[in-house]
Homo-oligomer: A and B are copies of this chain.
């Protein structure tokens, strides 16, 4: 059960002019499962992406990076079941064959197709089954296919993840809609397992490439479930230019509003992954301020978010808050002055002056540990930068899910 997240109803999801989506059952790894998704983009769409920094990155990630350089992307093919990672040269051949097959169907060049895979690592992609499933996905292409596509890319997710916004910027309507998937092996370094966000605004290619990095840094690159950066993380931003708005330069009127809308959709999708994190019973925001740099604040946030001791204490709703101090002390800041560190849980000041705050009462700590959403706030007292990290707790079910996966 995700923590305070449910999939929007289909009528709450805005179609994006220039984008159609179709889903099929290709039997990639299991039968009777929607495991193949095709996304078709109108000519002239700008596409930009960021990808995992895992050195064992998947074959489709390599192919995506090559194909994005064409600046003429017209289709995306996404399969679940098999990650096509740790598959060497045969894996690259399979990813290229996927693109070629989709291109033939859609009358494109192979390098106008981006391939994505998610699932088990180090097993071969059954590319013939994938190719055989493509015509059904093509036949199902619909502008209102976002809801089905969100289901089509799920693996251990318990809910489909969609976020959609329609805003008016300078009197012009802008639609931003996206989907994501992921529940485990989540500590995106460039982007999440899989995230796709499209807008009908027109955005120049260089601007879009800058935007996708900035948005990832404020959304997918701020979440973690288990600290395991996936081999397949990909976040793709699409601007079809089929709507009313047009942004010619970063300084253009309405750009900041537009960026805020895209960031809000991406953040909702990224947080949905954590809310649906494997075994999650709590959603935790860790806000770190007073750091010398944003990177330093993030390092502290991740040190807290990755500590199994902190995560199990959240699962137990136990204000065993010394574990958070221990994690802060491990964040790699060699000259941290612990006497200047302040720690709050919700509105309760927990630690100051190198130890427990004089005003702290155990019953206050116990109270703020109870809700399903918990805010941790840290002030390092050494600078003016800040960052937020979102994570979930570590429960029996995380172990159960990951001990059982594959079987």
Interface residues of A (CB under 8 A from B): 54-57, 83, 85-91, 120-124, 184-185, 226-231, 306-309, 312-313, 315-316, 318, 320-323, 325-331, 333-334, 336, 338-339, 351, 353-356, 394-396, 398-400, 402-407
Contacts and interface: CB of A to CB of B under 8 A. Distances in A.
9 shortest A-B CB distances, which residue pairs? A121-B322, A56-B329, A88-B355, A122-B322, A316-B403, A312-B402, A88-B354, A54-B329, A55-B329
A170 B407 CA distance: 57
A90 B322 CA distance: 16
B231 A329 contact: yes
B326 A185 contact: yes
Contacts of A351: 86, 122
Contacts of A54: 326, 329-330
Contacts of A353: 88-89
A34 to B, nearest CB: 23
Contacts of A336: 55
A389 to B, nearest CB: 17
For the complex formed by this chain, how many copies does it contain in all?
A: 2
A336 B87 CA distance: 16
A88 B356 CA distance: 8
A120 B228 CA distance: 28
A177 to B, nearest CB: 30
A45 to B, nearest CB: 31
Contacts of A87: 354-356
Given A56-B338, A318-B403, A328-B55, A227 B308 contact: yes
A120, A320, A355, A356 interface centre (most CB from chain B within 10 Å): A355
A88 B122 contact: no
B230 A326 contact: yes
20 contacts: A55-B328, A85-B322, A86-B351, A87-B354, A88-B354, A89-B353, A89-B354, A91-B355, A122-B355, A184-B309, A226-B309, A228-B307, A229-B326, A229-B329, A230-B326, A309-B402, A316-B402, A316-B403, A318-B406, A396-B399
A325 B331 CA distance: 25
Contacts of A328: 55-56
A308 B398 contact: yes
B325 A56 contact: yes
B88 A312 contact: no
A14 to B, nearest CB: 35
A309 B185 contact: yes
Contacts of A55: 328-331, 333-334, 336, 338
Contact of A229 (B318, B330, B333): B330
Contacts of A331: 55
A120 B320 contact: yes
A306, A327, A329, A396 interface centre (most CB from chain B within 10 Å): A329
A378 to B, nearest CB: 12
Contacts of A185: 309, 323, 326
Contact of A308 (B230, B402, B405, B407): B402
Contacts of A90: 355
A125 to B, nearest CB: 11
A394 B405 contact: no
Contacts of A227: 306-308
Contacts of A394: 308, 399
A74 to B, nearest CB: 29
A322 B83 contact: yes
Given A56-B338, A229-B330, A309-B228, A318 B407 contact: yes
Given A122-B356, A329-B55, A329-B57, A322 B86 contact: yes
